Amino acid sequence: MRHDFREYAANKMSMSESGCWTWTGSLDKDGYGKSWQEGGSYRAHRASYEFFVGPIPAGLTIDHLCRNRACVRPDHLEPVTNGVNIMRGIGVAPVNVRKTECPSGHAYSGANLRIEGTERLCRTCQNARRRRRYKVRWANDPVFKAKLLASTARWKSRLLPGTNTSNQTQ
Ligand SMILES: [Zn+2]
Ligand SMILES: [Zn+2]
C-alpha cells in the first residue's frame, strides 16, 4: 500500500514560500530523501511524485528541475528518459557519439547527459540556463512571481490545513 505522503508534510519537509520542499528526514548517500513504503525505504521524491501526480512510467527516471536532490515538490520533478536507454534503442548520429564533453567541458555521461532526438545535451548547462531565466523572470515578471507564490500557497494549504494562507495574494 502506498504511504499517504501528506503525513510527511508537517514534520519531514521544509516548505519555502517560493521554492523547494526540502526533505528534512534522513537522506541516502546520494543526497535523496528517504521515505518509507511497504516496509522498505524508498526515495522520497519518487514517492511524492507517485502520490501527487501518478505512477512513474516504466523506463523513466525522475529529474529535479531545481537540482536540489532533497526536494520533493511535485512540480519540481519531471520524469525523463534515461539517456542510456534511448541510445540503445534508436542510436545516435556517430558524430555526436564521439563527443564526450559539452562546449563548456562537462562530461556527456551519466546523469549529465540528456538526449533529444539525435542531439546530446549537457544537463549542467541546460539547467544553468533554466535557472538564469527563472531568476530573471522572478525578478522582472510580477505575474510569474504571483503565480508561483499562489501555487505554493495552494499546495501548502492542501498539505498543512492549519496554515494561514489568507495573505497568499501578496
Ligand atoms: Zn525543488
Ligand atoms: Zn555543459
Which residue ranges form the domains of the chain, and what is each CATH number? 2-95 (3.90.75.20), 101-159 (no CATH)
CA–CA gap between residue 46 and residue 19 (Å, rounded): 18
Integer angstrom CA distances of residue 98 from 6, 74, 84, 118, 142:
46, 36, 15, 13, 44
Which residues fall inside 5 Å of ion ligand 1, going by CB? 20, 66, 68, 71, 73, 76
Going from the Cα of 16 to the center of ligand 1, the distance in angstroms, rounded, reads 10
Q: Give me the chain's average pLDDT, please.
A: 77
> Is this model's pTM higher than 0.75 or not?
no
Over 50: is that where the pLDDT of 4 sits? yes
Assigned C-alpha cell, 75: 512540480
Query: Ligand 2 center to residue 76 CA distance, Å?
Result: 21
Instruction: Tell me the CA–centroid distance for residue 61 and ligand 1, in Å.
Output: 16
Output the pLDDT for position 168: 42
Categorize the per-residue pLDDT at 57 as very low, low, confident or very high, splitting at 50, 70 and 90: confident
Judging by beta carbons within 10 Å of its beta carbon (0-12, 13-18, 19+), is residue 132 exposed, middle or buried? Answer: exposed
pLDDT, tens digit (0-9, with 9 covering 90-100), for 6-43: 888 778 888 876 688 999 999 999 899 998 877 778 89
Q: Residue 85: its pLDDT value, please?
A: 39
